[in-house]
Homo-oligomer: A and B are copies of this chain.
Amino acid sequence: MRIGELARRGGTTTRALRYYESLGLLTARRTANGQREYDEHDLRLVAEIRSLTGIGFALEDTRPFVECLRDGHTSGDACPASVAVYRRKLAELDECIARLEGARERVRAQLDQAEQRSRPCRR
């Protein structure tokens, strides 16, 4: 399978796939005329990458998962490095959510205050 088909089947674009390759996340054999040649295993890698970035992972964060799959594991998160990324991401998400909730509260307080000032008659 060539890059176009992999992109379609992986739900992404050829540009993204070449970018992943430039990061070393994906590698490709070449045909005689220089075109990239992929197989089902590569599709699995792409699926893993897309799945993780879909959750909000940075591309670099998908690296352990990809390497884990390349090491022959059937699941990208079968390796400790991947699990560590899960934990780190979880902590990041918790912190980010807390920050946003704090911001939300501040905005709400400001909004309430502003509305009270603009409509003092309603008590």
Interface: A28 (CB within 8 A)? no
Interface: A23 (CB within 8 A)? no
Task: Give the size of the chain A interface in residues (CB under 8 angstroms).
Answer: 30
Q: A-side binding surface: helix, strand, loop or mixed?
A: helix
Nearest chain B CB to A47 CB, angstrom units: 14
Question: A72-89 vs B: 1/0 string, CB under 8 Å?
Answer: 000101100011001101
Separation of A104 and B96 alpha carbons in the complex (Å):
10
Question: A106-121 vs B: 1/0 string, CB under 8 Å?
Answer: 1110110111011000
Q: Contacts A78-B118, A117-B78: A110 and B93 contacting too (C-beta < 8 A)?
A: no
Nearest chain B CB to A60 CB, angstrom units: 16
